[in-house]
Amino acid sequence: MTFKQLQEEILELKRQNEVTILAHYYQPIEIQEIADYLGDSLGLSQTAKEKANTDYIIFAGVDFMAETASIINQNKHIMIPNYESYCPMASFLTPEKVKEFKDRYPGLPVVVYVNSTAAVKAESDVCCTSSNAVKIVEKISKEFNVQSVLFGPDANLADYTEQMSGIQCHKMPEEGHCYVHSQIKTEHLIDIQSQYPNAKILVHPECIREVREIADFVGSTSQMYNRVKNSTQDEKEFIIGTEEGLVERMAQDFKDKHFYLAKDKLICYNMKKHNLELIKYVLENLDDKAFEVRVPSEIANRAIKPIEKMLVFS
């Protein structure tokens, strides 16, 4: 069966069963094409609450994204096509580690990146995304009347936030990182820009500082997408420092532009564990609890508070 045939069957099953499909920008393009909504992690969870009027939602992303959707939408069934799709970055920080940092730095607010587990969010004061981290840190530090915060699990985003805000971000932990973005080195950008000297360099704040400092633009996946969307006619070429799925999306949406990955094989293999066959299976077996992500209410009720605080601050 071809991708096209599978996509047509999925679209029909989705219509019959009244299911909404959400897909992250890092998903394979054939999954992006059958999604009702595309976006980054938090944007999709908000979409699940505000726009998805179905009881069942299939979330093509990694586990923490589906957990966040479950926290925000506790009355809905959040399904994940492959329950082995997890975020290695989120694994760097546990609730126990957060408590250790709280003991080490009493009185400092805990800022947790949405790329974290529900249990870790439940131990935090406020959540943030890669697009609003600077604003969130500025506001929570003002509320607590401090010039330092605890920030995890991504050390590079913590460094970027500290750099942009002037507020000290104690990294929880020091070694936390995204294995996709931390692969990108300055030599990769220098090499590819020598081939495309007119190209603008766009990178994610999860990249190391040296990479961020030679980029023309630093932003989240959605911010990079919008930077290209709002680019001038003279800006024809872009070097993209994030997962290749965003490049595939932009190449389809902005056919008059040219895109180059910052280096070969910028792939989040965990994101790519989903496929059309699994999505079709879930649509045919919506009562199979193995694919449902439901955060226990005790954790969800605590985790929703830092998420809601973030939305207020944003």
Per-residue pLDDT tens over the stretch 181-240: 999 999 999 999 999 999 999 999 999 999 999 999 999 999 999 999 999 999 999 999
The C-alpha atoms of residue 38 and residue 60 are separated, in whole angstroms, by: 10
Mean of all residue pLDDT scores within the chain: 95
Q: Do domains 3-87+271-296 and 90-177 have the same CATH topology?
A: yes
Give me the CATH code for the 181-261 domain, please.
Answer: 3.40.50.10800
What SS3 string covers 143-204? HHCCCEEEEECCHHHHHHHHHHHCCEEEECCCCCCCCCHHHCCHHHHHHHHHHCCCCEEEEC
Determine contact, residues 67/31, Cβ cutoff 8 Å.
no
pLDDT of residue 43: 78
What pLDDT does residue 52 have? 87
Domain ranges of the chain: 3-87+271-296, 90-177, 181-261
Q: Give me 189's structure tokens.
A: 């950008």
Which residue, among 170, 26, 180, has the nearest Cα to 108 in the 3D structure?
170
Model pLDDT, residue 311: 86
* 205: its two tokens: 């704040």
> Strand, helix or coil at 262?
coil
Structure tokens at 287: 């009562």
> For residue 314, what pLDDT is reported?
81
**Which parts of 110-153 fold into alpha helices (H)?**
118-121, 133-144
pTM: 0.93
The residue ranges of the chain whose pLDDT is under 70 are: none
90-177: what fold? Rossmann fold (3.40.50)
107: left (phi over 0), alpha (psi -120 to 50) or beta: left
Chosen CATH of 3-87+271-296 out of 3.20.20.140, 3.40.50.10800, 3.40.1710.10, 1.20.1070.10: 3.40.50.10800
Cα separation, 192 vs 49, whole angstroms: 41
Measured CA to CA, the distance from residue 23 to residue 250 in angstroms comes to 15
